[in-house]
Structure 1
Amino acid sequence: MEDEPLIAFDNEYLLTDAGYEVIATVDSLAEAVRVLAEEAIDLVLSDIKLRGDGDGMDVARAAAAKNVPVLFVTGNCPVEAHSLGIGCLAKPYTDKILKNALAALDRKLQGGEVKRVPAGLSLYQHPV
């Protein structure tokens, strides 16, 4: 979930090129809720700011109802996000940092230990 079209396009291209399956790129809570209801999703990347009503915190609540972890990708992660997401990746970030952050999250979600947290990534002790 990203409200900036160029960032959304770049992320989708990068993730697809890195071998990830991008189910959808949306910019509103309503679209996010629809995709969460219709698709099998392993992880949601969400900005805090979104278009229209609702925000990334609302997306995280909807994802939690489906047991889908959320990585917030934002310039300023609010304290409330610690109880809703698996972590936060600070903007701006490079392609390499995003890939490394996703690799660390994958290790964490698989039950492994993350020995080195990539720059800009904060991991939360939130159960998935």
Structure 2
Amino acid sequence: MLFGKRKRVVNRILIVEDEPLTAFDNEVMLGDLGYEVVATLDSFEDAIGLLENEKVDLILSDYRLSGRKTGMDLARAAKNRGIPIVFSTGHKLPAESVKLAVGCINKPYSERTLKLGINAVDKHLAGEKVKPPKGMEIFVPTVAKE
């Protein structure tokens, strides 16, 4: 693309986070970066309910959520719907996560890491080769975006 910005793949983000302060910070940071935060939820059940009615380009989810189901359950459901997911967690993820998620941002992280991380995911989903920021890992993509 000559003299212009590449069109982003990720525009609408669903945040699923059970820590209220982290959820609020993510919502504000992503909004300030020009992303549309579809919703900020804290449970698998609420997220699944929202996905039935809303277009979501990316889910940013903690591994631990309110309720009995985890971020891994959400990742499985997201993959079945063709929606990429990025974990944001301070916990060690199960090996299966690399088959379900696009990547993981390790907590705690800065606004800069979140910005660079989501940008790297966007480019990755667009098929570009990227180097994720320190504190983030990108996995092999498992969902195709149109």
Aligned to 1:56: 71
1:101 aligned residue (109, 117, 136): 117
Task: Please say if 1:80 is aligned against 2:93.
Answer: no
Q: CA RMSD in A?
A: 0.9
CA radius of gyration, larger in:
2
Task: Please say if 1:91 is aligned against 2:94.
Answer: no
Whichever residue aligns with residue 33 of structure 1, its letter is: I
3-state SS, counterpart of residue 45 of structure 1: strand
- Give the TM-score taking structure 2 as reference length: 0.84
Aligned to 1:119: 134
| Residues 27-84 of structure 1: per-residue CA shift (max 9 Å, x gap) | 0010010111110000000101000120100111111111000001001222221111
3-state SS, counterpart of residue 83 of structure 2: coil
1:37 aligned residue (28, 52, 57): 52
Whichever residue aligns with residue 129 of structure 2, its letter is: E
Where do 5+ consecutive residues of structure 1 fail to align?
none
Greater helix fraction, Structure 1 or Structure 2: 1
Whichever residue aligns with residue 100 of structure 1, its letter is: L
Name the CA distance, whole Å, in 2 between partners of 1:56 and 1:93. Answer: 18
Q: Identity of counterpart residues, as a percentage? A: 46
Instruction: Point out 4+ residue stretches in structure 1 off by more than 3 angstroms.
Output: none
Where do 5+ consecutive residues of structure 2 fail to align?
1-15
Name the CA distance, whole Å, in 1 between partners of 2:100 and 2:85. Answer: 7
Aligned to 2:35: 20
Greater strand fraction, Structure 1 or Structure 2: 2
3-state SS, counterpart of residue 87 of structure 2: strand
Report how many residues are paired: 127
